[in-house]
A and B are shown apart, each in its own frame.
Chain A
Amino acid sequence: WSAFAPDFKELDENVEYEERESEFDLSDE
């Protein structure tokens, strides 16, 4: 089923998301 969604990644277990420095920003300078 994961072949139907090319951007989708199948996981065996949880992965912790690593936030970017700009994660919360709507606009930078």
Chain B
Amino acid sequence: QVLLALHDRAPQLKVSEDRLSVTGEKGYCMIRATHCVSKGQWYYEVTIDEMPEGSATRLGWAQEYGNLQAPLGYDKFGYSWRSRKGTKFHECHGKHFSTGYGEGDVLGFLIILPEV
């Protein structure tokens, strides 16, 4: 079963008992799943349970060397979609992508990798 990883994450993040939810506070940091993909097409969804005022998320796909003590999309090892303004980020550069998302929204992430 694919779950939020307990050992592949910033330690300050709080993971739920069922390992399907995570809560952060203060500055951006990262958590990844227990399983990765390397070829083919894969999709996953995230629900924003709570997003208090002043909080934000950056969700997407990361490679192994992505910095866990920075937001996803900080370096060349990650690509993210931000809740605030719906901006996409890669290597610290934000570009317009969509309108923002927030509490109650369900977000889908598709990755298409070569089969070989």
Contact = CB atoms under 8 A, between A and B. Distances in A.
Are A and B a genuine interacting pair, yes or no?
yes
Interface of A: 18-19, 21, 23-29
A23 to B, nearest CB: 6
Interface residues of B, number: 18
Interface of B: 26-28, 56, 70-71, 74, 84-85, 87, 89, 91-97
Contacts of A26: 91-93
B53 to A, nearest CB: 12
Given A21-B56, A21-B84, A27 B92 contact: yes
A25 to B, nearest CB: 5
A18 B26 CA distance: 7
A23 B96 CA distance: 18
